[in-house]
Structure 1
Amino acid sequence: MLLSLCMIVKNEEKVLERCLESMKEIADEIIIIDTGSTDRTKEIALKYTEHVYHYNWTNDFSAARNEGIRRATADWILVMDADEYLDPKDASSIRTFLENEPIRDNQIYNVSVVSFVGETMNTSTVAVAPVLRLFPNHQGIYFNRPIHEQPYSTKGVPLKGADAPITVYHTGYLGQTVQEKEKSQRNAELFQKRKNEDGLAAYDYFTIGNEKLGVNELDKAIYYYERALQKKSKQSGTSGQIWIVYCAISLIECYLRKNRLNDAWTLNEKYVQPLDYPEYHSIKGQIYHFFGHYGLASESYNEALRVAEWRAEKYKVFWLTNAGYGSVIPLKGLQQIAENHSDHDKSIYYLSKLILNSKHDYQAITKLLELLLLRESHEAIVKLMSELLGSRDAAHHLTLFKISLTIGAKELAEYYYKQLESIRIQPSDLLQYALLSGNQELFNQTLEKQDLPEPNEKLLQNFVWAKWTWQTDYTKNLKMNKTDEQYELFQLYLDIAENKEADLQDPTVTSVLYKLLTGLILNQQFELYDSIVSRYSHPDLINLLANFFFSKQNYEVAGSYFSMLLQNDQLNTKNCEQLAFYYLNNQELDEGLVFLEEAISKSPSRIYLYTTYFQYSTDRNKKTEMKTKFERQFPQYMKLPFIKEMLQSV
């Protein structure tokens, strides 16, 4: 026999069949070590193999792995977990590789494990790592370490790693799975046991860091990643040092989230730069972007895309740790820069690329539709979205319908509503569509025929809009007890629906009014909007509304609000920043710099504002003053080479 598949399982009824179905044409022998399943795991396993064995769990993954290896009889052994699977189309190429590969007692093989990381498959990102899973049988190769087990030779020979042309897909890091299995707690106990018995190696610290990052304990993750890199030079392993790069990139990602840009830059240059992958350029782009060096950021993002494209043509995998570094991250960065500079053509281009990369990127779809509505006909928009998402996909039609409601695109909503005749639409979406289309009959029918969900904020908004629009008190259809968690919010909506007095100093009141008023604008109820905003006018609310109209590129209305706020000295940082970039993008430099100075004065910690100021200002004295302020505000960044260069030129 050519290949034995060895697995350890426990309560894997949700995923085991997917795994075994993917392996039935690849493996000659399947060996299942069950460590105490209480669900249908054994029943499913027995459909594919008679080699299903019970094993008393001893808190040691290696011991369980080795139990399977001892029972294997084929020439090669592949180790997998139940939440992993292969593409059955690869069966032929995998077997051809094994048939032609010579067996050596010191050679083991990495398979490429593609992990989906996130809450769900639709919203996940991809992380890739080479993992030692394939090795020749009968050569004394087993596993040690109770967790994140590693192969070793009982003959005492050093094992050498090589890459096998095998890709394994892994869903065990999806949020729901992690929660169900309580992996983090289980693994923490195993690590503590190992620490008490043998002490921790560099690789242990790396894997603990992964555990801490997985549960979003950022400071602890940084500590363990740093310990791993500190110890790595003192400890050698039989599996090579590739994990060090993965550790460095994970630590860089943590540094970026904590704004430790010096540390991120240093690690990127030391560990990632020597490798020809998009990760290096994407990380540089993110750092440049943070500092407002938009030209350098664009160059780095584009280089990341170029390297990814080159590697995709030459190799199957174009990334090192995460496909996003060669696609989503640089594309989002470039789109944000284009948006910041009001370059709508480039924005549309990058948003389209993002959607082609992921048809579930709802944020990109929403932004693209908003931009297209400013310049294209509805027919042209429908045509483009069909090309990007598929013209016959009901799920995409439903997505586009919901987004059209969210952005108040009446004609688009009507078009996609007609495409959904055979699809059930949620009652709250039907109510919102009835409001947007001015169809009170549909609103009433929905209330009569549909089972409404429990009262939520979206439903409250719809009922208040309907009361204002049609002078009918639909809020009576909602029932909520005083003991319910959202009762106070519920009552606030009812009070505003009745035009009662409200405490405009309360941020919750401001938030509710903002949502209701912007909803009226999106539902094209302009007269109602004017009457209500005049009744509840307050600087905090006007600030929010000014930013809203500015983001929708309705500069006339936004400008009137900005003028009102300016006259009363009530502009906030966001207002000043928006006005600064608006004037600078339109080459009205004097006005732009005045608002930029005001934004920096109000929010001196926004470092990209200084960079923009240095770029546009020609007043040497003012630039020198701003340089002094920058150095005093950000001493931690003075060692970065591009910061030094920027300040030297001031």
Structure 2
Amino acid sequence: MEKHTISLCMIVKNEAKHLGKCLQSVKNIVDEVILVDTGSTDQTLDIAKKFGAKLFFLKWNNDFAEARNYSIQQAKMDYILIMDADEWLDEKVDLHTVLKNEKDYYMVRIKNETSSGTAIIHSAVRLFKNNIGLKYFGKIHEHLNIEDESLNLTSDTGKILLHHIGYKEEIYHEKGKHERNLKLLLEEVERNPSGYNLYNLGNQYKMNNQHSEALEEYKRAFPLSKNRVHVNHLLYNMLDCLRILGKNEEALDIVSASIESYPNYTDFYFIQGRIYAEMSYLKDAENSYLKCIEVGEVESVQTLEGVGSFLAYTCLGEIYLELGDNLRAFEMAVEALKVNKYYMPALRVYLETLIRTKVPWENIKDNLKTVFPVTNFNDLKHLIIALSFMRSPLLQTYIDLYKLSVSNSVMGISNLYSRKYLSSYQIWENGDIESEEYRDILLLSFILQKSELLHKCQPFVNLNNKEWKLFKNLVHRKEVEIAKVSEELEDIIIFIAEQLIHLGEDDEFNYLFNTITSGTVSLVIKLSNILIKNGFTKNAQELLLAFYTENQTNKKYVELLADTCYKQNQFYEALSFYNRAVELKKEYITFEKIYRTYEKLNDQNGLFIIKNEIRKLFPISLWVR
């Protein structure tokens, strides 16, 4: 069978930053490149010429369909491939093998990478026969007339994947896409208020964090979209807006109805789990994420990549970390990394479980070789980013092992957390600092008892003059009384305390510990939390008991004391304190903790009573029904 020829058709404007990667991905695959330029002023055309593109020029009339149709009119080959400059063809794709069955058009999977490290995958017609009457409609979010029955078209879902980075926040706003697209969409909706146009208008608002406006458009779009392919993702985005806006009960009602209508759309179980987790309904969140894994990934419609695998496993790992079940958290992280070892939150959960269980760093390094083998530069880059984010002493090990040349920022962090304090100080003394480094420099200043670098942190910290003076006194180990201070200063002090634990700086920690315990109850609670998190539960319990009399009406304080009892298998004492916490304020999470305590005691009567209480007081909980 003769190999079919392919025309790549593109419309571009000022795409010099991305065009080279796009064209390189299809080099030697397509037979011609048709590039329609709508007014570039950068190096776009020079790059296109290097790849032998045929250049055409069109005045931009705020009409994507017009530009697309002009581009495909220039195509001379059997098939047309449509791509944007900020996309590239996956290296594993064999277009000519896909075309062997000679269908009229093919659905292509497009992986839209986001700034959060996740990806949204959707399908679109991007590969189709030339000269069979296909053309584009719609000034924005243009689409082909594949529903024209008179064309009698054949189709297939080809094994084709395009990667797209244009929706990453920094790229999206850099190009000013929001203002342009919003204007076009508002015009389209006024001309034709279809479900699809309203859905896209909602998406536009959502991408710009205008969640109330997005929600309004999704609600208008839904009745007009019930039989359309985009309805699942419309509902998902509606639910996500409700979640962000704090309308959780409404969201849970809608997600329940959505699951009933579309039981195999994993994204609904995932958003349900996320809502429950943020409300601290941990058993319900756990069940939702387990259901995600049971149903698996979504194949045919728009979906969040990983909802049926690595995302769900990671979220389960985070729940088990919160519950102190380090073994199950570790198992979930490993499962997530098996699917996607580049998903940084999964690697964070993995490392966190090993740190919490006091595994020596040398052993953690050996473990990493199993779950994250470094086989190429991309592996190494991701690992360095993760270790830098985790502030791990292994960062220096890998820099030395691979003789890496890294930025001053990474080197400063690496030296600090491998306890090369003076080297770290010299790096930051002689250079500018980045916003995310200020806490590291405050920590370093505290350890070295040097305040000369504090001025470099001031642009990034919202402390008043009195608080800066207080912190400077802490640095120089003066006797300090911490009365009412801002939450930001509290969080800085607690960050330093936790890092001192990790670094093994006992004398410095003891000074800070004694200072904190003479401070506010808020600081005592936060300090107790990090003690529990890092395996010093008994110390946390002793600290909380020392000030219990004056704080016995503080619900957070009493519940945290109950947690220390539970973690030390003092279940009757835990029940006593949990019940006291419930008397102070009836919150769901406390009732769930009481249930877990009765489970440990195998007290069937207690379980029956507390389950009925939860059912009565918290009707949105599913697991008690």
Compared CA separation, residues 267 and 395, structure 1 to 2 (3 A): closer
Q: Secondary structure at the match of 1:128?
A: strand
Given the two structures, how large is their TM-score scaled by the length of structure 2?
0.83
1:2 and 1:28 in contact (8 A); partners too: yes
1:142 and 1:151 in contact (8 A); partners too: yes
Report whether the alignment pairs 1:172 with 2:185.
no
Question: Mean Cα displacement is larger for which, 161-170 or 425-434?
Answer: 425-434
Shift of the alpha carbon at 1:308? Answer: 2.8
Cα distance in 2 for partners of 1:434, 1:35 equals: 51
Question: Mean Cα displacement is larger for which, 610-619 or 372-381?
Answer: 610-619
Report whether the alignment pairs 1:326 with 2:308.
yes
1:16 and 1:41 in contact (8 A); partners too: yes
Q: Please give the residue correspondences for 1:186-585 in structure 2 after superposition, counting only pairs within 5 Å.
A: 186-196=180-190, 198-232=191-225, 241-257=228-244, 258-267=246-255, 269-270=257-258, 274=262, 276-283=264-271, 285-286=273-274, 297-308=285-296, 317=299, 321-373=303-355, 374-391=357-374, 394-395=380-381, 398-399=384-385, 402=388, 405=391, 415-416=397-398, 418-419=400-401, 421-424=403-406, 426=408, 430=412, 433=415, 437=419, 442=423, 446=427, 450-451=430-431, 453=433, 457-458=438-439, 460-468=441-449, 474-476=450-452, 488=465, 491-498=469-476, 499=478, 501=480, 504-507=483-486, 508-535=488-515, 537-538=518-519, 539-569=521-551, 572-584=554-566
One-letter amino acid matched to 2:242: Y
Q: Deviations over 1:510-566 (max 9, x none)?
A: 334333433433333323333344345212221211111011121121111111232
Cα distance in 2 for partners of 1:154, 1:413 equals: 55
Shift of the alpha carbon at 1:132? Answer: 2.3
Given the two structures, how large is their TM-score scaled by the length of structure 1?
0.80
Compared CA separation, residues 32 and 154, structure 1 to 2 (3 A): farther
Question: Mean Cα displacement is larger for which, 273-282 or 180-189?
Answer: 273-282
Cα distance in 2 for partners of 1:510, 1:326 equals: 38
State the match for 2:6 in structure 1.
Answer: 3
Shift of the alpha carbon at 1:111? Answer: 1.4
Question: Mean Cα displacement is larger for which, 329-338 or 293-302?
Answer: 293-302
2:318 and 2:349 in contact (8 A); partners too: no
Q: Secondary structure at the match of 2:303?
A: coil
Q: Secondary structure at the match of 1:30?
A: strand
Compared CA separation, residues 87 and 241, structure 1 to 2 (3 A): same
Shift of the alpha carbon at 1:17? Answer: 1.7
1:596 alignment partner, one of 578, 595, 613? 578
Shift of the alpha carbon at 1:343? Answer: 2.5
Cα distance in 2 for partners of 1:516, 1:570 equals: 28
Cα distance in 1 for partners of 2:280, 2:495 equals: 31
1:431 and 1:462 in contact (8 A); partners too: no
1:520 and 1:528 in contact (8 A); partners too: yes
Compared CA separation, residues 54 and 169, structure 1 to 2 (3 A): same
Shift of the alpha carbon at 1:587? Answer: 5.5
Shift of the alpha carbon at 1:297? Answer: 4.8
Q: Deviations over 1:222-264 (max 9, x none)?
A: 221221112225xxxxxx8211122122223333443434544
State the match for 1:141 in structure 2.
Answer: 134
- Number of aligned positions between the proteins: 603
One-letter amino acid matched to 2:89: L
Shift of the alpha carbon at 1:594? Answer: 3.0
Question: Mean Cα displacement is larger for which, 591-600 or 581-590?
Answer: 581-590
Cα distance in 1 for partners of 2:404, 2:25 equals: 34
Cα distance in 1 for partners of 2:399, 2:64 equals: 53
Q: Secondary structure at the match of 1:139?
A: coil
Compared CA separation, residues 62 and 516, structure 1 to 2 (3 A): same
Q: Secondary structure at the match of 2:93?
A: helix
Q: Deviations over 1:590-613 (max 9, x none)?
A: 333333334445554x43433444
Q: Secondary structure at the match of 1:326?
A: coil
Q: Please give the residue correspondences for 1:97-176 in structure 2 after superposition, counting only pairs within 5 Å.
A: 97-103=98-104, 108-118=105-115, 123-152=116-145, 157=150, 162-165=155-158, 166-176=160-170
Q: Give the alignment's Cα RMSD to 1 decimal.
A: 3.8
One-letter amino acid matched to 1:304: C
Compared CA separation, residues 66 and 615, structure 1 to 2 (3 A): same
Shift of the alpha carbon at 1:385? Answer: 1.1
Report whether the alignment pairs 1:26 with 2:26.
no
Cα distance in 1 for partners of 2:352, 2:230 equals: 43
Cα distance in 1 for partners of 2:555, 2:541 equals: 16
Q: Secondary structure at the match of 1:77?
A: strand
Report whether the alignment pairs 1:610 with 2:591.
yes
Shift of the alpha carbon at 1:622? Answer: 7.3
Compared CA separation, residues 50 and 615, structure 1 to 2 (3 A): closer
Cα distance in 2 for partners of 1:147, 1:613 equals: 54
Compared CA separation, residues 600 and 101, structure 1 to 2 (3 A): farther
1:3 and 1:27 in contact (8 A); partners too: yes
Compared CA separation, residues 213 and 29, structure 1 to 2 (3 A): same
One-letter amino acid matched to 2:183: E
Cα distance in 2 for partners of 1:323, 1:494 equals: 47
1:84 and 1:169 in contact (8 A); partners too: yes
Shift of the alpha carbon at 1:266? Answer: 3.8
In structure 2, the gaps of 5 or more residues are 599-604
Shift of the alpha carbon at 1:60? Answer: 0.8
1:142 and 1:154 in contact (8 A); partners too: no
Compared CA separation, residues 520 and 28, structure 1 to 2 (3 A): closer
2:199 and 2:218 in contact (8 A); partners too: yes
Question: Mean Cα displacement is larger for which, 588-597 or 69-78?
Answer: 588-597
Q: Secondary structure at the match of 1:82?
A: coil
Q: Secondary structure at the match of 1:324?
A: coil
Q: Deviations over 1:387-410 (max 9, x none)?
A: 22225765466457646745xx6x
In structure 1, the gaps of 5 or more residues are 234-239, 312-316, 469-473
Shift of the alpha carbon at 1:180? Answer: 0.8
Compared CA separation, residues 481 and 561, structure 1 to 2 (3 A): closer
